[in-house]
Structure 1
Amino acid sequence: MSEVVVPDAERRAVGKFLRRMLPILVLMLLINQMDRTNVGFVQDELRADVGVSATAYGLGAGLFFIGYALFEVPSNMYLERFGARVWLTRIMITWGAVIVAMCFIQNVTMFYALRFLLGVAEAGFFPGVLLYFTQWLPDSSRGRASAIFLGGSATAYIVTGPITGALLELHGLGGIAGWRWMFALEGVFSIVVGFVAGFFLVSRIQDARWLTQEEKDALGAAVARDEEARSRAPRVSRLKLLVHPQVALLTTVFFAMALTGYAITFWLPSLVEEIGGLSPFQVGLLSAVPWICAVIAMYTVSHFTDGAPDRRPYLAVALVLSATGTFLATLGSPWFGLAAITLAAVGGKCAATLFWPMAQSGLDLKIAAPGLAVVNSLGNLGGFVSPTLFGYLKDTTGSTNGGLYTLSAASLLAVCGVALIRRTRATAAPLPEAAPVPHRSTNSP
């Protein structure tokens, strides 16, 4: 097959987009990930100052995902209507306002309401950016842009701890608790970046002043060709997809992965605090260690498995590592527990890296896009179940061990699901055609 020749004007236009748009989008994603998970560092403070028990904390942490799931599709529809410049900046400014409001939490009900509203405010940001890429970049260039953008998500796990820990050191300044300072300053920063993004983002190719007319025409034509090809693909009902065997298996595996990923995200700081004698900044630094190791492992694994004909064995090994780590975290000293959680984080991140390419190749082309949307939507509900379950078990048993055992068992069950997933794309079981459904992109824990 001959190599596709990309016109010089199109190549220049893509390069300009990557240099001008991606940095602000990556920064927005980094702040997005930080603001949704910073609550994990103030669990003890919320219990002491507001009366948020472990059960209430877990439920509040998980309510974010309910709001996010309910409003993700409507948010993407509004993005198409109003354009990325307006809608993505709206998303960021409103989630920043909710984060600022969290510094005024006085009771459990306010905590629940604001966590739910944070999910509503953030809904559609991640898939909205990926949708924005489809409006600006041809298929041949979108993979590179998505990889760079996803790097911001990986980086967020590393920087959230040190930054949040440093802000918690402001405790007592002006007679204000450190956790209130943390929410206020991170929220204000989100709002400021949101307004700045409004000056940088451009919704339509033809509105970009930094492209020549030749570059606009070449890039617009390439995007239009890809859009026409996608529009010819048949659409299927998500209701029918729910009972499709491969979609059900993938959803089950991803749900188990989400359980572990979000449990570690929201409960890691409290596990680190059990070491004792650490300042908030030191807790933040140590909380970054598992994610540093996980990101290194993630990129290493992706490098060695990109050409693998079958990713299932590698995914199974990653899930076993995750299960082993969460089980070992119930044994030994807190320092040993940190090492075990690091192993679980490595397994979880590597599993996420392996899962989506495998899922894409395991579904028939006719159902790939809507099928992956269903997997993402239902699987991410693990972000609600996991912290809620952890909080309940901690309040009823006085320990997080029950939650860690549950995560270990879920990962091992997911290994069984991986063994049943079809190896490569083949003709899927036929599905009755239905009315078109909105396109949604995938995300991972």
Structure 2
Amino acid sequence: MSTATADEHPAVATASRKIYRRIIVLFALMMMLNQIDRSNIGFVQEDLEAHFGIGAAAYGLGAGLFFVGYFLFEVPSNALMQRVGAKIWITRICITWGAVSASLIFVRGETSFYVLRFLLGVAEAGFVPAVLFYISSWLPNRYQGRATGTWAVGALFAYSAGSLVSGPLLSLHGFLGLDGWQWLFLLEGSITILVGIVGYFLLDSKISDAKWLTEEERTQLSLQIASERASDTEHASTTATITKLLRSPVIHLFMWIYFAVQMCIYSTTFWLPSVVRDIGVSSDNLVGLLSALPWLCTIPYLYFVSRRGDRHPQQRTTLMTTSLVLAAIGTLVASLTGSWLGLVFIVVATLGFKTVAPVFWPLLRERTDPVTAATAIALINSVANLGGFVAPYGFGLVEDSTGSTELAMLGLGVVIAIAAAATLLVRRIPLRPAADPSAAGPGALGQTDPGPVQAGTGADLEEPAPKLR
């Protein structure tokens, strides 16, 4: 982590380093397992079709139903997190999604496949906004980009690790009477449950509860975070807050950009193994190795984007636009070339769409009221995740109709190109007013837990809604 700046107490930097080592690394591991458990069906598509007749369209529908459950329960999950505390809620999410993921060994046809995928989405709902809200509540602004980037690296390691271990796990066919695809679900889900249990003992809901920080670190970190937060303490109902958010063109813009990003992520996640097999690769181990390639190549660039965004916040919009342009070019060229060259451009596309998050969320927080930020994150994340339903299901329909995913990739390239153009509007959105540091007086220590996210009447969300200047 960075060293303290001239206007920052040294204890803030030491506390942030401890948080990074104890909490952010744990979140990265959870994120890795999160992405493995939601996307590992990509490696058993042929097994599901061979055993239960689940074809491309049914597979795409099942893959996408995860995001319907996620969408329906994302905001309610976020509201419940405010009642029970982040420690209990994040670990609950981790344990229950692991249990549902392991239960996929009981799939016996399309209906059971659909039901379990939907329940997996319900179980995972709220994880992303809870972690993002946790990071923003525990780390000063200048540390958040790198923390979010490190957490996002967990997803890249997930796709890489999931790809690399899929072959060996599928080779366990017949061991103890289970098929290889069942071992894949059972082992990966069980590991998630164990990590959730460990997380309960490592996490704290509030900075004041963190006994592994010194008293000075807790005090100075709380003051620093409180000084960066606006002093708005008005309260409104969850419904009123969501209504205000939905009236904001700023929220609509961010929602559209992230919807396109999610379409890219999950079309690649669920269909990349199939694309590799279409090239002519038949070995499960080689399919896994080649499927890991785009994610592994993205890790260095992800670190560059997150650190650059932290050090030069004014460049975040440029970094986001550049990433989405790369995603659009890679996807469009891959759809037109195919074969091994197409795989190369899928790597280029992945470099783009997987490096958006470390700058996207800070850009959103800079343009929304702090007391509505968590609800805004949950709302945007839940709606945007429907891109994870649209893209996989659309790919399945196209493959069933044409025998290829090329047309689907072409359409996806057009969508992400439009999103890249939309990022230019983000530059025209004014930043929210900076908090008055004098607000971080003696009472500020009680504000380190920002309180219920549904509370707030963010001035930037009142009518008239903020205009793109």
TM-score by length of 2: 0.80
- The corresponding residue for 2:33 is 31
Q: How does 1:47-66 map onto structure 2 within 5 Å?
A: 47-66=49-68
User: How many angstroms does 1:30 deviate by?
Assistant: 1.3
- The corresponding residue for 2:407 is 402
Q: What secondary structure, in the 3-state scheme, does the structure 2 residue paired with 1:282 have?
A: helix
Return the alpha-carbon distance in structure 1 between the equivalents of residues 19 and 210 of structure 2: 9
231-240 vs 244-253, which moves further? 231-240
- 385, 389, 410: which is aligned to 1:384? 389
Return the alpha-carbon distance in structure 2 between the equivalents of residues 146 and 256 of structure 1: 20
Q: How does 1:7-406 map onto structure 2 within 5 Å?
A: 8=11, 10-139=12-141, 141-223=143-225, 229=231, 231=233, 237-301=241-305, 307=312, 309=314, 315-332=320-337, 334-353=339-358, 355-356=360-361, 359=364, 363=367, 369=373, 374-406=379-411
User: How many angstroms does 1:110 deviate by?
Assistant: 0.8
Q: Is the 1:312–1:423 Cα contact (8 Å) retained in structure 2?
A: no
- The corresponding residue for 1:443 is none
Look up the equivalent residue of 2:246 and give its one-letter code.
L
Look up the equivalent residue of 2:71 and give its one-letter code.
A
Q: What secondary structure, in the 3-state scheme, does the structure 1 residue paired with 2:231 have?
A: helix
Deviation sequence 1:143-175 (CA, Å, 0-9, x none)? 443343233233223222112232112123234
Q: Which runs of 5+ in 2 are unaligned?
A: 434-451, 457-469
46-55 vs 301-310, which moves further? 301-310
Return the alpha-carbon distance in structure 2 between the equivalents of residues 241 and 213 of structure 1: 38
Count of aligned pairs between the two proteins:
430
173-182 vs 19-28, which moves further? 19-28
Return the alpha-carbon distance in structure 2 between the equivalents of residues 66 and 342 of structure 1: 28
- 5, 8, 23: which is aligned to 2:8? 5
Q: Is the 2:67–2:121 Cα contact (8 Å) retained in structure 1?
A: yes
Return the alpha-carbon distance in structure 1 between the equivalents of residues 428 and 98 of structure 2: 43
Deviation sequence 1:61-109 (CA, Å, 0-9, x none)? 1111111122122222332322333222211111111011101100111
Return the alpha-carbon distance in structure 2 between the equivalents of residues 307 and 40 of structure 1: 38
Return the alpha-carbon distance in structure 2 between the equivalents of residues 209 and 426 of structure 1: 35
303-312 vs 394-403, which moves further? 303-312
Cα 1:108–1:368 shift into 2, 3 Å: same
Cα 1:318–1:178 shift into 2, 3 Å: same
Return the alpha-carbon distance in structure 2 between the equivalents of residues 273 and 217 of structure 1: 56
Return the alpha-carbon distance in structure 1 between the equivalents of residues 10 and 322 of structure 2: 43
Superposition CA RMSD, Å: 3.3
Return the alpha-carbon distance in structure 1 between the equivalents of residues 248 and 181 of structure 2: 46
Look up the equivalent residue of 1:437 and give its one-letter code.
Q
Cα 1:64–1:24 shift into 2, 3 Å: same
Return the alpha-carbon distance in structure 2 between the equivalents of residues 17 and 117 of structure 1: 32
Q: What secondary structure, in the 3-state scheme, does the structure 2 residue paired with 1:404 have?
A: helix
Q: Does 1:437 pair with 2:454?
A: yes
Return the alpha-carbon distance in structure 2 between the equivalents of residues 316 and 158 of structure 1: 25
Cα 1:87–1:398 shift into 2, 3 Å: same
- The corresponding residue for 2:443 is none
Look up the equivalent residue of 2:196 and give its one-letter code.
G
User: How many angstroms does 1:299 deviate by?
Assistant: 3.3
User: How many angstroms does 1:11 deviate by?
Assistant: 4.6
Percent identical among aligned pairs is 43
Return the alpha-carbon distance in structure 1 between the equivalents of residues 37 and 425 of structure 2: 37
Deviation sequence 1:19-76 (CA, Å, 0-9, x none)? 3333323222211111111111111111111221111111111111111122122222
Cα 1:316–1:4 shift into 2, 3 Å: closer
Q: Is the 2:230–2:370 Cα contact (8 Å) retained in structure 1?
A: no
Return the alpha-carbon distance in structure 1 between the equivalents of residues 106 and 131 of structure 2: 31
Return the alpha-carbon distance in structure 1 between the equivalents of residues 391 and 271 of structure 2: 10
Q: Which runs of 5+ in 1 are unaligned?
A: 429-434, 440-445
Q: Is the 1:364–1:425 Cα contact (8 Å) retained in structure 2?
A: no
TM-score by length of 1: 0.84
Q: Is the 1:60–1:115 Cα contact (8 Å) retained in structure 2?
A: yes
Cα 1:107–1:364 shift into 2, 3 Å: closer
Q: What secondary structure, in the 3-state scheme, does the structure 2 residue paired with 1:437 have?
A: coil
314-323 vs 111-120, which moves further? 314-323
Look up the equivalent residue of 1:388 and give its one-letter code.
Y
16-25 vs 308-317, which moves further? 308-317
User: How many angstroms does 1:389 deviate by?
Assistant: 0.8
Cα 1:411–1:126 shift into 2, 3 Å: closer
Q: What secondary structure, in the 3-state scheme, does the structure 1 residue paired with 2:279 have?
A: coil
- 413, 419, 423: which is aligned to 1:414? 419
Return the alpha-carbon distance in structure 1 between the equivalents of residues 61 and 432 of structure 2: 41
